[in-house]
Amino acid sequence: MTYDVQPEGSHFVNGKPARDAEGAELPVIYPATAERIALLNEATPAVIEAALAGAEAAWRDWAARPGVERGRVLRRAADILRERNEELSRLETLDTGKPIQETLVADAASAADALEWFGGIAAGVAGEHVQLGEDFGYTRREPFGVCVGIGAWNYPIQIAAWKSAPALACGNAMVFKPSETTPLSALKLAEIYIEAGLPEGLFQVVQGRGAVGAALIEDDRVAKVSLTGSVPTGRRVYEAAARGLKAATMELGGKSPMIVMEDADLDAAVGGAILGNFYSSGQICSNGTRVFVQEDVLEDFLARLADRTAEARAGDPLDPETTLGPLVSEAQLEKVMGHIEAGKAEGARLVCGGTRIGGEGYFVAPTVFADVSDEMSLAREEIFGPVMSVLSFKTEEEALARANATPYGLAAGVFTRDISRAHRMAARLDAGTCWINTYNLTPVELPFGGVKASGVGRENGHAAIEFYSRLKTVYVGMGGVDAPY
Ligand SMILES: NC(=O)C1=CN([C@@H]2O[C@H](COP(=O)(O)OP(=O)(O)OC[C@H]3O[C@@H](n4cnc5c(N)ncnc54)[C@H](O)[C@@H]3O)[C@@H](O)[C@H]2O)C=CC1
């Protein structure tokens, strides 16, 4: 079968596709069938140089334009993303394996939201005025200049947009390196920006594995780096940024807790657990993979969960009825199956799933383990697959202590009908985001990011502006200068 997704060039530099056949090969595999659907090349030093030089040359003029003008370009690009949502969703499905039912609502559509929202606030990016007697001071929010964005494979176009939209709104240029596993949709976003009127050089896409990302960060022209990826990569990238004293935003992994109190609406809690573990085949950083259920409702919760999970429909991700796609790659499949085998060997109770399904594709059945203890690898390691661990607890205090006993702190959830308890618990959970009676909703209006090992900085919301701009203080003297001699 031909999928017709081979791009004209592997990269997108200075307003057009760029080819570079010298770079190492980057095959693109459709995870549902294991077929190769495109072949790209990694960026060579010449491509990296062209991308950085083009970005450096472009940002000052862009930054000098009124915010309202920058915002207009972003909002036009948002409209084009929406007009082309079907085509972009199909591409994202082929690149990631995620069901089209998901990509139609959560990928290019979320990217469009980010462009629209940051387009809307671009004109409002401003400093403050401070009166100092006769004198006064003011602050200016200025762009960094050249920013680097590095993406993960789970939400390729969404990540590219969540990083580039605030960067561009603030007057920066961005050089973006998608994950080597999912390189295609960022190229489309680059095309769309140009179509919307973005001057060339302001959103550059270069492909490659980790070494290409590392080369970008090391360059003196780069003032800021934003990564979405795993914690080990985050440490490396943050270290490299620190060596150059560059600003950094790190969106990393998690092992987030979801706490179900006995007074919760159990069907809503089961729905939250399904969304927070099996959507995107579990490949979401904020997933609530440690589901703590209060003892008295545990078996009821598990029974309802098993019934609902049996309704998952694995299959052709391009079929609108499919609700469960494959994992992104063979390597991820092997990693997830290794975690499942470890869970079985450690004595957790397998409630459902636990096996591969389908033919050549990288499908894993939605898997629920019960009787998981805090020490098991299932409860400690980020699996990034459709594997839910259910743990039981007796008291609110115990649940909070165990939920927080992790090096991570990306997200957390509480299901309860007691309004005071909900807010009390949300206040005590060590997490960047807490959901009450829902899970994994990440609208662009709200800041998103982690604490502890899950990250540094925030994406989305007004908060993101602080992470894509720097403050300049201007002091204005209104009288003479009083010097000692
Ligand atoms: N928190 C999140 O949003 C995500 C977390 N992950 C976690 O990461 C694991 C591995 O997935 P990957 O996509 O391979 O994540 P990764 O962390 O290995 O890679 C993320 C990005 O960083 C780049 N990179 C790797 N080393 C680099 C370096 N030294 N300097 C600059 N850039 C570098 C990669 O090329 C990729 O674009 C998953 O199993 C999962 O646990 C994966 C995707 C998303």
**Number of H helices and number of E strands within the chain?**
16, 22
Residue 432 DSSP code: S
CA angle 477, 482, 485 (to 5 degrees): 145
Partnered with residue 426 across adjacent β-strands are: none
Asked if residues 172 and 166 have their Cβ atoms less than 8 Å apart, the reply is no
Phi, psi at 399, each rounded to 5°: -60, -45
- 156 in contact with ligand 1, CB cutoff 6 A: no
What does the pLDDT average to over 240-257?
98
What integer pLDDT is reported at residue 184 of this predicted model?
98
pLDDT digits (tens, 9 = 90+) for 402-432: 999 999 999 999 999 999 999 999 999 999 9
What integer pLDDT is reported at residue 36 of this predicted model?
97
Closest C-alpha residue for ligand 1 atom 27: 210
Would you call 427 exposed, middle or buried from its count of C-beta atoms within 10 A (0-12, 13-18, 19+)? exposed
Neighbours of 357 (CB within 10 A): 15
CB-side exposure of 406: number of CA atoms within 13 Å?
33
> In which element (H, E) is residue 317 found?
none
Query: Which among 23, 54, 332 is positioned nearest to 207, based on CA atoms?
Result: 23
Instruction: Tell me how far the alpha carbon of residue 228 lies from the centroid of ligand 1, in angstroms.
Output: 7
What integer pLDDT is reported at residue 332 of this predicted model?
97
Asked if residues 143 and 64 have their Cβ atoms less than 8 Å apart, the reply is no
pLDDT digits (tens, 9 = 90+) for 61-83: 999 999 999 999 999 999 999 99
Give CB contacts under 8 A, 24+ apart, made by 426-431: 428/400, 428/404, 429/257, 429/400, 429/403, 429/404, 430/404, 431/256
- 440 in contact with ligand 1, CB cutoff 6 A: no
**Can you tell me which atom of ligand 1 is nearest the CA of 155?**
44
Residue 359 — very low, low, confident or very high, per pLDDT cuts 50/70/90?
confident
CA distance 309 to 388: 11
What does the pLDDT average to over 311-324?
97
Phi, psi at 175, each rounded to 5°: -105, 120
Asked if residues 5 and 38 have their Cβ atoms less than 8 Å apart, the reply is yes
Residue 2 — very low, low, confident or very high, per pLDDT cuts 50/70/90?
confident
What does the pLDDT average to over 265-270?
98
- 253 in contact with ligand 1, CB cutoff 6 A: yes
Q: Is 392 a residue whose pLDDT tops 80?
A: yes
Instruction: Tell me how far the alpha carbon of residue 150 lies from the centroid of ligand 1, in angstroms.
Output: 9
- 381 in contact with ligand 1, CB cutoff 6 A: no
Closest C-alpha residue for ligand 1 atom 26: 210
What integer pLDDT is reported at residue 11 of this predicted model?
98
Strand pairing class (129-132; 135-143): antiparallel
CA distance 109 to 223: 29
Which amino acid is residue 61, in one-letter code?
D
Total length of the chain: 485
Q: Is 276 a residue whose pLDDT tops 90?
A: yes
pLDDT digits (tens, 9 = 90+) for 303-314: 999 999 999 999
Instruction: Tell me how far the alpha carbon of residue 3 lies from the centroid of ligand 1, in angstroms.
Output: 26
CA angle 442, 279, 178 (to 5 degrees): 70
- 167 in contact with ligand 1, CB cutoff 6 A: no
**Can you tell me which atom of ligand 1 is nearest the CA of 181?**
13
CA dihedral 139, 140, 141, 147 (to 10 degrees): -120
Residue 251 falls in the annotated catalytic set = yes
**Can you tell me which atom of ligand 1 is nearest the CA of 383?**
41
Phi, psi at 220, each rounded to 5°: -65, -25
What integer pLDDT is reported at residue 401 of this predicted model?
98
The rounded radius of gyration (Å) of the Cα atoms in the chain is 23
ipTM over 0.85 threshold:
yes
> Which residue among 48, 162, 212, 233 has the greatest number of ligand 1 atoms within 8 angstroms of its CB, and so is best to mutate?
233
Residue 270 — very low, low, confident or very high, per pLDDT cuts 50/70/90?
very high
Asked if residues 228 and 152 have their Cβ atoms less than 8 Å apart, the reply is yes
pLDDT digits (tens, 9 = 90+) for 333-348: 999 999 999 999 999 9
Q: Is 283 a residue whose pLDDT tops 80?
A: yes
> Which residue among 230, 283, 287, 332 has the greatest number of ligand 1 atoms within 8 angstroms of its CB, and so is best to mutate?
230
- 160 in contact with ligand 1, CB cutoff 6 A: no
Instruction: Tell me how far the alpha carbon of residue 230 lies from the centroid of ligand 1, in angstroms.
Output: 5
CA angle 469, 470, 471 (to 5 degrees): 130
Asked if residues 109 and 85 have their Cβ atoms less than 8 Å apart, the reply is yes
What does the pLDDT average to over 192-200?
98
Q: Is 358 a residue whose pLDDT tops 90?
A: no
Tell me what percent of the residues of the chain surpass a pLDDT of 70.
Answer: 100
Residue 155 — very low, low, confident or very high, per pLDDT cuts 50/70/90?
very high
- 252 in contact with ligand 1, CB cutoff 6 A: yes
Active-site residue among 42, 180, 200, 251? Answer: 251
- 237 in contact with ligand 1, CB cutoff 6 A: yes
Q: Is 1 a residue whose pLDDT tops 80?
A: no
Sign for the pseudo-dihedral over CA of 180, 184, 187, 192: negative
- Tokens 């200025």 appear where? 142
What does the pLDDT average to over 344-370?
96
Asked if residues 321 and 286 have their Cβ atoms less than 8 Å apart, the reply is no
Q: What is the mean pLDDT of the chain?
A: 97
Instruction: Tell me how far the alpha carbon of residue 183 lies from the centroid of ligand 1, in angstroms.
Output: 13
What does the pLDDT average to over 142-170?
98
Asked if residues 168 and 118 have their Cβ atoms less than 8 Å apart, the reply is yes
Partnered with residue 367 across adjacent β-strands are: 387
Residue 20 — very low, low, confident or very high, per pLDDT cuts 50/70/90?
confident
What integer pLDDT is reported at residue 135 of this predicted model?
97
CA distance 289 to 275: 11
CA distance 105 to 147: 28
Instruction: Tell me how far the alpha carbon of residue 179 lies from the centroid of ligand 1, in angstroms.
Output: 7
